[in-house]
Structure 1
């Protein structure tokens, strides 16, 4: 992998970073791989702007693995896709002798990256991964990045012309076999968007039809 930097922010090139890149690139589609690279860049740029003390290597590994749960290798899993990615990152980092406290940072950053309202109160790696994924998928915090930053990142790791529909399809393909895992998240939106027959679970109905008498 060619490394270098993005507007003065280095792209990690350690042995762990290179192995993580190779593993994810071999497991994911080009769409998800390029998305993951941009996620690292958005996160690192936001971290510099916010003056957060984050570990670039941990943020990079979190960025690489955050959507791995959507890959074909997890098409039999019934877990939340975020947990599949977090578990894979944990196993990878343990295999490299990384300290458990750092592994926990990466695990929780990935596990919570689609959970609004929580990551910003966690450690910097979790806060930045959440911001970065939201930026790349949904344009959240778009105006917090300069034209120069957006151009630099998308030039290095281009967005496909049909990225918006393609990323929805990627989520749908990774989730359609485990719809129950989307309960309580916004991930059920992807299934509902592509499958008109899908019926969401309604927590109020669950409460009203529970075995309690009142």
Structure 2
């Protein structure tokens, strides 16, 4: 579906895509989210639209792909899932669980003729990379737009270069979708991951939560960092003489 023909709606003063697929994505996210997570993903979409529509390099984008990625970006959060959820794995970091679940959702619910490999990859990348700022903001406009909104919800307007999100815009979105203790919920999810899937947290920011808030007998990255792996597998020392 061409971007310029997308049906839209206005929420908290923000124009967002209103396609059947976005509605299904919202319903799927609601089934797999806590209240605070569901409000967060909605705010992330709204903030992302505000910011991306003001920036020249993200204004022209696949708005439906952006919307679906924003709505489904936290499917990998463990708290709030139904028992024995098919979305969560034991071996993948939460961003990859979310990206895989979003891709499976699109293959199941979207029209194949409208969602080629490239569109699917845009959504996958937007979700899998959304916590890695040094990478994600060099990706395609749809991927950047998704992370702009997510990061704005955690950082607020003042920390966004160029001030593309005003406090009035921010507060209107918060009024529509209150925060409901998002930061406590984030901490609970990060610590749950450290306790239940520690192998997925050693090389990323999730492990920082475990380092700070868990006792060493509960969680430790000692000897598990990328540097540790490289130093203990030093192939130079094994080079034939």
Return the TM-score normalized by structure 1: 0.88
Spell out, residue by residue over 1:78-118, the C-alpha distance to the aligned partner (whole angstroms, 9 max, x if none): 20111111111111112212222111100111111111211
Aligned pairs, how many? 210
Deviation at 1:54, TM superposition (A): 1.8
Paired with 2:154 and 2:29, the residues of 1 have a C-alpha distance of 19
Paired with 1:204 and 1:65, the residues of 2 have a C-alpha distance of 32
**SS at structure 2 position matched to 1:199:** coil
The CA RMSD measured in Å over matched residues stands at: 2.0
Spell out, residue by residue over 1:147-198, the C-alpha distance to the aligned partner (whole angstroms, 9 max, x if none): 11111110111112x3322221123224531111123211111222331222
Aligned equivalent of 1:11: 16
Deviation at 1:24, TM superposition (A): 0.7
1:59 is aligned to 2:66: yes
Aligned equivalent of 2:214: 195
Q: Which moved more, 1:189-198 or 1:42-51?
A: 189-198
Any stretches of 5+ residues in structure 1 without a counterpart?
Answer: none
Any stretches of 5+ residues in structure 2 without a counterpart?
Answer: 1-8
The 5-angstrom pairing of residues 69-148 of structure 1 reads: 69-71=76-78, 72=81, 73=85, 74=87, 76-95=89-108, 96=110, 97=112, 98-139=115-156, 140-141=159-160, 143-148=163-168
Q: Which moved more, 1:90-99 or 1:79-88?
A: 90-99
Spell out, residue by residue over 1:29-49, the C-alpha distance to the aligned partner (whole angstroms, 9 max, x if none): 111110000000111111111
| Rg larger in structure | 2
Paired with 1:126 and 1:154, the residues of 2 have a C-alpha distance of 23
Asked if 2 retains the 8 angstrom alpha-carbon contact of 1:69 and 1:174, the reply is no
Task: Tell me which of 185, 192, 207 is aligned to 2:204.
Answer: 185
Asked if 2 retains the 8 angstrom alpha-carbon contact of 1:81 and 1:175, the reply is no
Aligned equivalent of 1:152: 172
The 5-angstrom pairing of residues 11-50 of structure 1 reads: 11-50=16-55
Return the TM-score normalized by structure 2: 0.79
